[in-house]
Amino acid sequence: MTQEELKEALPFFTDPGLLKQLLDKGQIMDLKAGKILMEPGQFVKMVPIVLNGYIKISRMDEEGRELFLYFLDAGETCALSLTCCSASKPSEIKAVVEEDARIIAIPINFIDQLSNDFKQWKDFVSNTYQSRFQEMLTALDSVAFKRMDERLMDYIVKKMKQLKTNEISTTHQEIANELTTSREVVSRLLKQLEKKKWIELGRNVIYIRDDFEELISK
């Protein structure tokens, strides 16, 4: 990958010196959907920056249940990975490639040098912490104050925007895991949306009306 290609993928990095260092020290990786990048208890050896595709970040409880935290989209990195590497602590998250992705993996022993040498990198890290904190506050508000049907509709809209499609390939159990509820609850709520003709359910796929976001806002 050339500096121009990296700059196109990460337009907020315009410093030629920073782009060169990222390419010199980082590793470009093409990852297939389903690839597990990190599991709880592992030590973080690199910090991923997503160039395309997306990665799901979640936490696991002692019984193995999954709590969805956030997605990493193109141009984003994982705040919790940055925290773990700076504190030399094992990972507290699970990172799974949800859609075929390309990342640039930055070794953790290089992170402090980037922060010292390049203001753009320091700003990038700061903005990452801020945006993830706000995103997790939003998720907490959703769990605390929104009904499950509202959370499900928000989830559908978010997936549509991330995937840029009206067809979401997923199972009811996968949705339940991300919303921290039961499959039965998700299935019942999806059937209610189908009865309204806002969506159509197929085998492991949800077909969504073009005006779905407008409908749920009324």
Q: CATH code at 131?
A: 2.60.120.10
Residues 36 and 136 in one domain: yes
* 78-106 average pLDDT score: 85
15-19, 69-73, 124-128, 151-155 — which is least confidently predicted? 69-73
Range of the domain at 174: 146-216
Name the DSSP class of 42: P
Residues 84 and 182 in one domain: no
Q: Which residues contact 85 (CB under 8 A, 6 or more apart)?
A: 44, 47, 108, 111
Out of 94, 112, 143, pick the residue that ends a domain.
143
- Angle, vertex CA 38, rays to CA 173 and CA 136, nearest 5: 65
Out of 143, 173, 191, pick the residue that ends a domain.
143
Would you state the pLDDT for residue 22? 95
* 144-170 average pLDDT score: 87
Structure tokens that stand for 77 in this block: 């990195």
Q: Which pLDDT band holds residue 87 (cuts at 50, 70, 90)?
A: low
Structure tokens that stand for 186 in this block: 């998700």
Residues 183 and 208 in one domain: yes
Residues 91 and 40 in one domain: yes
Would you state the pLDDT for residue 214? 86
Would you state the pLDDT for residue 19? 95
Q: Is 16 helix (H, G, I), strand (E, B) or coil?
A: helix
Residues 44 and 90 in one domain: yes
Would you state the pLDDT for residue 59? 81
Of all residues in the chain, the percent with pLDDT exceeding 90 is: 48
Name the DSSP class of 33: T
The answer, yes or no, to whether residue 97 has pLDDT greater than 90, is yes
* 78-105 average pLDDT score: 84
